[in-house]
Structure 1
Amino acid sequence: MQQAAQSASPAEEALLRQIAERSKSDPLIGAKLGGKDVTQRLLAGMKTAQGVHIESLLCALGALAGYACQASVRAQAVARGLPETALLTSVQTKDGQTYFFGDDLNKPLAESRYSVWGIAGGGAQEAGCKSLPDLAAIFRHTSEVVGTDAFGKPRVPDNHVPRDQPINYVRTLWPVLKPVVVKYCPNPEHWPVLLGLSIQEVILMAKTVIDPCLAMQLVMEAAVPMSKVNLAMVR
């Protein structure tokens, strides 16, 4: 997957003008259009001769959405003239790594009206999921295993394991996709929304391939721990 171009083409400039105009009546139009763009980029970038491994795509999107929550909080702090991590609570584990927690991080991930959990969960329910995963249990497990080898490893059936770990998807894909996300959503509060909408689209698209409840489990098993990783681990 190639890095997004630094300068916009005439077509892109026209699109951005259209987004700016339409955002007056629909503040989330950039996130909606950007979510579809990210979906198509990942579908193209992850396609092999056998097609797209749906579990890997869902894991990648969940990981990106989780990390986007932290990136959003950092960007908002800087915009207010605060230190980048001022709105985050840092915890250092025995292995010397730093992880981030806090209410400001949980809001875009799972608590606000347009949280990753809310948007993706709405897609899972529309796709037929009758009982969403136990989100509190995922948060609890993440806190219990932070700083261990079990951290950031999705707990899913063996036949639905993604082909790479969430941290590797963040490490490789976030630097490539962040310029795309920012292009559609100059407001960092909308970064997690964009990725949540992409997740929603993929869950609906793949409902005949993977159970939407399981898809949601996989997404959040990646999103929750990746919202907490140290920026240095990703760079």
Structure 2
Amino acid sequence: MLEQQKKEDPQMDPRAAALINAIRERSKEDPLVGAKLGAKEVFQRLLEGMKDSKGVHIESLLTALGALVGYACQADLRAQALAKGMPETAPFQVVGTKDGKYYFFGDPLNNILAGDQYSVWSVVGGAAQHAGAKEFPDLNEIFQYTASVLGSEQFGIPRVPENHKPGDIPLNYLKVLWPALFPTIKLFCPNPTDWPILYSLAIQEAIYAGKGAIDPDLAFRIVMESAIPMSKVDLANS
């Protein structure tokens, strides 16, 4: 596991203020400039945080980023609902399981994951294809499998070959990294619709950087096997 990083919002020092002003100015020409710059920042922070004497375990990095991008889809919808004066769970169909946990479903969530032009599937898939991926994961099968194992020990465990298993499960990465990185995400992307895009672009960086160590097909699968279940979790009560 990564060490817990500080959760406090970053101090609005002159550098942060200058960064925000620069992003505001450049966003007139490129609306995604905050997401692009934030993606590079997040990628570098995770590289540094996950490095050991052998380097960075690419499967663990992809799993962590997959977990983050999946939950970012849910967080985006929650923030939009609150901004409209609605309950933050309004966009979702909430499903309870026998173990007392709740999970979040619905077309708006699936659209951010796999439907929009800037969906996780589109942005990450573009990078995987560019890196040489020949076979994409079966998206519908992952959605169906995720729903079928709700409330079980199999939920949220990426189905990948034994020699490519991550160092920890997606939920554990998410619980540590989401609160640690969220202040930075908000700094680069005040608009919540950009949060999943930022993480998707960070995954692009990881796929390009890791293509010598892991097949892009498998890298894409690890990301989606982590992202889809983590988009459903009730993080506050996990």
Q: Is the 8 A contact 1:4 1:180 kept in 2?
A: no
Q: In structure 1, what is the Cα distance between the partners aligned to 2:14 and 2:105?
A: 41
Per-residue CA shift, 1:52-78, capped at 9, x if unaligned? Answer: 111000000000000011011000000
Structure 1 residue 107 displacement after superposition: 1.4
When normalised by structure 2's length, the TM-score is: 0.96
- The equivalent position to 1:49 in structure 2, one of 35, 50, 53, is 53
Give the letter for the 2:33 counterpart. I
Q: Does 1:22 align with 2:40?
A: no
Correspondence for 2:76: 72
Structure 1 residue 6 displacement after superposition: 2.8
Correspondence for 2:158: 154
Correspondence for 2:106: 102
Q: In structure 1, what is the Cα distance between the partners aligned to 2:8 and 2:208?
A: 27
Q: In structure 2, what is the Cα distance between the partners aligned to 1:104 and 1:182?
A: 21
- Does the residue aligned with 1:147 lie in a helix, a strand or coil? coil
- The equivalent position to 2:41 in structure 1, one of 26, 37, 44, is 37
Per-residue CA shift, 1:13-65, capped at 9, x if unaligned? Answer: 11111100010111110000000000000000111111111100000000000
Q: In structure 2, what is the Cα distance between the partners aligned to 1:196 and 1:90?
A: 25
- The equivalent position to 2:13 in structure 1, one of 9, 13, 18, is 9
- The equivalent position to 1:218 in structure 2, one of 200, 215, 222, is 222
Structure 1 residue 88 displacement after superposition: 0.9
Give the letter for the 2:201 counterpart. L
Q: Is the 8 A contact 2:101 2:234 kept in 1?
A: yes
Q: In structure 1, what is the Cα distance between the partners aligned to 2:34 and 2:174?
A: 22
Q: In structure 1, what is the Cα distance between the partners aligned to 2:27 and 2:77?
A: 22
Gaps of 5+ in 1: none
Q: Does 1:92 align with 2:96?
A: yes
- The equivalent position to 1:181 in structure 2, one of 182, 185, 197, is 185
Give the letter for the 1:148 counterpart. S
Q: Is the 8 A contact 1:152 1:222 kept in 2?
A: yes
Gaps of 5+ in 2: none
RMSD of equivalent CA atoms: 1.0
Correspondence for 2:120: 116
Q: Residue 38 and residue 4 in structure 1: after superposition, are their counterparts in 2 closer, same or farther (change >3 A)?
A: farther
Matched pairs, number? 234
Q: In structure 2, what is the Cα distance between the partners aligned to 1:232 and 1:2?
A: 18
Structure 1 residue 8 displacement after superposition: 2.3
- The equivalent position to 2:133 in structure 1, one of 126, 129, 135, is 129
When normalised by structure 1's length, the TM-score is: 0.97
Q: In structure 2, what is the Cα distance between the partners aligned to 1:108 and 1:76?
A: 13
Greater displacement, 170-179 / 3-12: 3-12
Q: In structure 1, what is the Cα distance between the partners aligned to 2:235 and 2:162?
A: 30
Structure 1 residue 4 displacement after superposition: 5.7
Give the letter for the 2:93 counterpart. T
Structure 1 residue 5 displacement after superposition: 4.7
Q: In structure 1, what is the Cα distance between the partners aligned to 2:158 and 2:22?
A: 39
Q: In structure 1, what is the Cα distance between the partners aligned to 2:21 and 2:173?
A: 31
Give the letter for the 1:76 counterpart. Q
